[in-house]
């Protein structure tokens, strides 16, 4: 475990705190912008790397502040180029993060909590319970780590790793804003996607945000009884209320939520299940993402055959519901959705 320090991590400062700091140190205002660029665009790990600051200022900063970026404790690289990292924070808590390169783009999937309390039956993370929620800084640090490792600009971030972002709402919104900040990573709001299992009060709050962040909802069944079994943590937020809330969301924001639907053999791929999903979606603003369940060896739930996935896509499209079949990336390294649990059997970083 890393040594804890009494000095505050400089990366927890907001732009206004940096302005205050440089003014307290008797420095001109533009120094705050320079420091911000080193911290949030160039992602440096020491004050010495801030080469356009006078040496005396760098020393003053080092006396007052520390850097506590997470440490990479393991990694796996997929055949498709995705990289999964186990990142450990200074208190020893570890989370998984995935970088997914495609052509000139780099998407990052981050965790918002270590573990998850929602207990979804098909999700590897849900099986381990909740350790703790992450801070906004810890979420942004995952993105910076991947940017650094690929040495590329991150073009989109999905909050779809471990944890339920809307059970950690304030930190999630703070992280979204840090990622969106034009003086930071400057990732467009529409390229920042938060996925929730359907916590209604938080969806309402999300709808009130002025930014155009993207919302994804894990639906997985439009039949109440099935959904209760698959997603017991959100039983109290019924499908009826979820439907109403999503209507409000689209009216309020004019934006289209996407629904995640992982197809599970014999569970949510039957004719009545398909029809219920069509009823839930038809005539509303939404986009359905179908995916074959990612197999978790210890679970009795198994993926539906591909032809069922195609049949459901066809049915939805016949009713005017836009639908995409998604292929999971990084399946060979358990990086695909729901498979992020700490199963780095092996390698220490860099081996």
Task: Report the catalytic residues.
Answer: 96, 337
Which residue of 120, 296, 321, 333 would you call a contact of ligand SF4, by CB under 6 A?
Answer: 120
How far lies 1's CA from each of 73, 93, 315, in Å? 11, 10, 53
By CB under 6 A, tell whether 336 contacts ligand SF4: no
Give the list of residues 6+ apart from residue 267 with CB closer than 8 angstroms, or none: 221, 226, 230, 273, 301
Residues 209-228: x/- map of binding to ligand SF4 (CB under 6 A)? ---------x----------
Nearest to 161 by CA among 146, 182, 150, 180: 146
The region that residue 280 occupies, defined by phi over 0 for left and psi between -120 and 50 for alpha, beta otherwise, is: alpha
The answer to whether 95 and 142 have CB atoms below 8 angstroms apart is: yes
Q: Does 262 bind ligand SAH (CB under 6 A)?
A: yes
Q: Which residue lies nearer to ligand SAH by CB, 65 or 259?
A: 259
Confirm if 205 and 227 have CB atoms less than 8 A apart: no
Q: Per CB under 6 A, which region of 15-23, 67-75, 179-187, 289-297 contacts ligand SAH?
A: 289-297
* Residue nearest ligand SF4 (C-beta atom): 126
User: Which residue, 197 or 276, has its beta carbon nearer to ligand SF4?
Assistant: 197
Q: Which residues contact 176 (CB under 8 A, 6 or more apart)?
A: 189, 192, 194, 211, 213
Q: Which does 293 bind (CB under 5 to 8 A by kind): ligand SAH, ligand SF4, none?
A: ligand SAH
Q: Which does 330 bind (CB under 5 to 8 A by kind): ligand SAH, ligand SF4, none?
A: none
Shortest gap between Cβ of 169 and ligand SF4 (angstroms)? 14
Q: Does 68 bind ligand SAH (CB under 6 A)?
A: no
Stretch that binds ligand SAH, among 176-184, 200-208, 288-296, 311-319 (CB under 6 A): 288-296
Among residues 296, 316, 321, 335, the one that binds ligand SAH under rule CB under 6 A = 296
Q: Residue 171 touches which of ligand SAH, ligand SF4, none (CB < 5 to 8 A by kind)?
A: none
> Do 266 and 229 touch, CB atoms closer than 8 A?
no
Q: Binding partner of residue 160 among ligand SAH, ligand SF4, none, CB under 5 to 8 Å per kind?
A: ligand SAH
Among residues 10 and 260, whose Cβ is nearest to ligand SAH? Answer: 260
Q: Which is nearer to ligand SAH, 82 or 218 (CB)?
A: 218
Which residues have CB under 8 Å from 227's CB, separation 6+? Answer: 219, 220, 221, 234, 239
**Given candidates 293, 309, 312, 335, which one binds ligand SAH under the rule CB under 6 A?**
293
Partnered with residue 75 across adjacent β-strands are: 85
Q: Of 150, 146, 147, 7, which Cα lies nearest the Cα of 68? A: 7
- Give, in order, the Cα–Cα distances in Å from 288 to each of 16, 238, 281, 284, 303: 40, 19, 8, 11, 18
CB of 351 to ligand SF4, least distance (A): 29
Q: Does 118 bind ligand SF4 (CB under 6 A)?
A: yes
Angular region, 194: left φ>0, alpha ψ -120 to 50, beta rest: beta
Give whichever of 120 and 336 is closer to ligand SF4, judged by the CB atom: 120
Task: Give CA–CA dist 7/15, Å, rounded.
Answer: 19
Residues that bind ligand SAH (CB under 6 A): 122-123, 160, 164, 195-197, 218, 260, 262, 291, 293-294, 296, 337-338
């Amino acid at each position: 475990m890393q040594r804890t320090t009494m000095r505050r991590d400089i990366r927890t400062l907001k732009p206004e705190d940096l302005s205050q700091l440089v003014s307290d140190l008797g420095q001109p205002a533009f120094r705050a912008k320079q420091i911000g660029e080193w911290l949030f665009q160039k992602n440096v790990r020491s004050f010495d790397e801030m080469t356009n600051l006078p040496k005396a200022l760098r020393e003053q900063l080092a006396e007052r502040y520390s850097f506590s970026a997470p440490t990479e404790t393991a990694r796996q690289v997929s055949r498709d180029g995705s990289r999964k990292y186990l990142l450990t924070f200074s208190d020893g808590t570890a989370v998984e993060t995935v970088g997914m390169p495609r052509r000139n783009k780099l998407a990052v999937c981050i965790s918002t909590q270590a573990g998850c309390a929602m207990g979804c039956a098909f999700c590897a993370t849900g099986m381990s319970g909740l350790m703790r929620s992450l801070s906004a800084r810890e979420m942004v640090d995952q993105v910076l780590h991947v940017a650094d490792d690929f040495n590329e600009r991150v073009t989109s971030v999905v909050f779809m790793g471990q944890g339920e972002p809307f059970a950690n709402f304030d930190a999630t919104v703070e992280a979204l804003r840090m990622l969106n900040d034009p003086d930071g990573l400057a990732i467009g709001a529409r390229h920042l996607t938060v996925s929730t299992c359907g916590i209604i009060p938080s969806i309402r709050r999300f709808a009130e945000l002025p930014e155009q962040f993207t919302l994804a909802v894990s639906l997985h069944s439009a039949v109440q009884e099935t959904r209760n079994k698959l997603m017991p943590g959100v039983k109290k937020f019924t499908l009826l209320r979820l439907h109403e809330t999503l209507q409000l969301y689209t009216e309020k924001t004019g934006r289209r939520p996407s629904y995640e639907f992982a197809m599970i053999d014999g569970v949510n791929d039957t004719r009545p299940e398909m029809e219920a999903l069509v009823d839930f979606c038809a005539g509303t603003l939404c986009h359905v993402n179908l995916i074959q369940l990612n197999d978790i060896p210890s679970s009795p739930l198994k993926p539906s055959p591909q032809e069922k996935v195609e049949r459901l896509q066809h049915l939805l499209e016949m009713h005017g519901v836009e639908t995409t079949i998604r292929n999971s990336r990084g399946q060979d390294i358990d990086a695909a959705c729901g498979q992020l649990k700490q199963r780095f059997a092996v390698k220490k970083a860099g081996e």
